[in-house]
Amino acid sequence: MITMTAALQFHSQSSSKRIIHSLIQSPPIEKVVVLCDEKVDLPWAKCEGMGASSLVSGKALEKIIEKCDTDFLLIITHSHSIHISPGAIERFIDVAKATDAGMVYADYCEKIHGDLREHPLNDYQSGSIRDGFDFGDIILFSLPAVKQALKQYGARRDVTHAGLYDLRLKVAIDHRLVHIQEFLYTKVHSENVIEKGGGLRERHFEYVDPVNKAIQKEMEEVATEYLKNIGAYLEPRFKKILVSMHTYPVEASVVIPVRNRAHTITHAVRSAVSQETDFTYNVIVVDNHSTDGTTSLLADMAKHNPTVKHIIPSRYDLSIGGCWNEAILSDMCGRYAVQLDSDDLYSGPDTLQKIITMLRTGEYAMVIGSYTIVNELLEEIPPGLIDHREWTDDNGRNNALRINGLGAPRAFDTGLLRKVRFPNVGYGEDYAVALRISREYRIGRIYENLYLCRRWAGNTDAALPIEKSNRNEAYKDKIRTLEIRARQKLNKVKKI
């Protein structure tokens, strides 16, 4: 008979009672390990208390695994809000057995304000190494796979926050992580985590929030170790930037791709043309066939200011990345190309000068500044300044595979960028290019505020339906997958 150990965090008698009762009534479950901060009464059969405050610590996971003499380990990360569907445990086991998976996870439903909504998850790719990958709240591990992974790659008892992340990555090296595209449980959300519109509290900036610095450091260490284990880690050795003999019309070009931003585009362009520099520059606005009056606004600005270059592509199939390619391949583009989104602003008249000064040193193929999150009135809103101080010259390009973005504003050596080019997509195009450049070249950082990033309802990264959010995240995971394989090839790793 197949047997299983379940592990969960104790919250209170009332909230834990329901899930524990559900677990102990499942025949495959032989033991339920309940993690408690302090000694609590556990008057249920099959239950065993364990002194620990977190399911994600390396030390706690090691103790749980030591207690297991079963075939599988079921980890429930947020047990107080979970309702397991009848037959779900057996379904997890059936899939794990049929696929020889190292780990199995499933889609789930969410109960929000009494409404039941489906929450599908993404398939796991070899590039799904971000610590924020959404597995839901129920994860099934094969204990033979876990023990083999820990024997082969070692355990991390020293991590407080990254133990589960470390375990998942190590299991994934030699075993499949299988996604069940069925809704096997329901997560009930409390009122304080619901946003207007029914979405969950945004986690977009967790990895750059100073409050999470210690957590992120652990995550970086674990991810770096994983990259070393699979042969995708890059030592801090970089190619030199070749001095281009090409004659450029100006030293720098500010590039603004835009479609239907009549409300904000004039502010963005004025921010760009007001830059004070010791070099020549222009502002290339690629107008992707706007229909809301943006085109006439730009035509008027270009008519009255020769610095503004208004491009309307001949193609109709371009996304943001394709618009960038239109700009950098244009004979109007300068030696350096600098990003400005159509609804954002430079923080002052010296932004462009500071960026180009760093690029002119010849040490960097790309320079990234820091930005501040503001509302439509340009008032700072949390989390405020995003400076990506987690970046280091030695390990930044490795850790870049774990995090979801590298910051703004972004600036490039145009000669190199013309060789690399952007993928023609509307999300993650900047991340793809940055990863590709960082594979071989050094990226420079400016940690002072250079840019104002406006948050408003029309942003492309505003609250999205789960299906679109999943599609975006899956694309970034695909970019990571391709980049990891390229780095393994660079390191001459035979098994890819």
**In the chain, what are the domain boundaries?**
4-229, 252-463
Structure confidence by residue, pLDDT tens digits, 69-84: 999 999 999 877 899 9
Residue for token digits 């399911």?
Answer: 55
Confidence of residue 494 (pLDDT cuts 50, 70, 90): confident
So what's the pLDDT on residue 210? 62
Rounded distance, CA 365 to CA 417, Å?
9
**pTM for this model (two decimals):** 0.93
Structure confidence by residue, pLDDT tens digits, 267-284: 999 999 999 999 999 999
CB under 8 Å to 348, separation ≥6 — which residues? 450
So what's the pLDDT on residue 196? 36
Tell whether the model's pLDDT for residue 205 goes beyond 80. Answer: no
Query: What average pLDDT does range 2-13 have in this prediction?
Result: 89
Query: What three-state secondary structure class fits 129?
Result: coil
So what's the pLDDT on residue 199? 41
Query: What average pLDDT does range 298-324 have in this prediction?
Result: 98
Query: What average pLDDT does range 61-69 have in this prediction?
Result: 94
Domain 4-229: which topology? Spore Coat Polysaccharide Biosynthesis Protein SpsA; Chain A (3.90.550)
Higher pLDDT, 303 or 458: 303
Query: What average pLDDT does range 129-146 have in this prediction?
Result: 98
Tell whether the model's pLDDT for residue 20 goes beyond 50. Answer: yes
Tell whether the model's pLDDT for residue 483 goes beyond 70. Answer: yes
Report the mean per-residue pLDDT for the chain. Answer: 93
Tell whether the model's pLDDT for residue 194 goes beyond 60. Answer: no
So what's the pLDDT on residue 77? 92
Structure confidence by residue, pLDDT tens digits, 106-123: 999 999 988 999 999 999
The dihedral over CA atoms of 192, 198, 204, 206, expressed in degrees to the nearest 10, equals: 10
The dihedral over CA atoms of 125, 129, 132, 137, expressed in degrees to the nearest 10, equals: 60
Residue for token digits 């391709």?
Answer: 482
Query: What average pLDDT does range 125-141 have in this prediction?
Result: 98
200-221: b or e for each residue (b if 16 or more CB lie within 10 Å)? eeeeeebbbeeeeeebbebbbb
Query: What average pLDDT does range 429-440 have in this prediction?
Result: 98
**Is the fold of 4-229 the same as that of 252-463?**
yes
Query: What average pLDDT does range 460-466 have in this prediction?
Result: 74
Confidence of residue 479 (pLDDT cuts 50, 70, 90): very high
Structure confidence by residue, pLDDT tens digits, 361-390: 999 999 999 999 999 999 999 999 999 999
Query: What average pLDDT does range 416-422 have in this prediction?
Result: 98
| Single-letter amino acid code for the residue at 400 | A
Contacts for 377-380: CB closer than 8 Å, 24+ residues apart: 378/345, 378/452, 378/454
Rounded distance, CA 128 to CA 404, Å?
11
So what's the pLDDT on residue 462? 58
Rounded distance, CA 358 to CA 445, Å?
9
270-294: b or e for each residue (b if 16 or more CB lie within 10 Å)? ebbeebebeeebbbbbbbbebeeeb
| Single-letter amino acid code for the residue at 269 | V
Confidence of residue 415 (pLDDT cuts 50, 70, 90): very high
Confidence of residue 193 (pLDDT cuts 50, 70, 90): very low
Query: What average pLDDT does range 340-359 have in this prediction?
Result: 98
Confidence of residue 203 (pLDDT cuts 50, 70, 90): low
Rounded distance, CA 339 to CA 351, Å?
11
Rounded distance, CA 129 to CA 172, Å?
10
So what's the pLDDT on residue 124? 99
Domain 252-463: which topology? Spore Coat Polysaccharide Biosynthesis Protein SpsA; Chain A (3.90.550)
Structure confidence by residue, pLDDT tens digits, 39-48: 777 877 889 9
Confidence of residue 335 (pLDDT cuts 50, 70, 90): very high
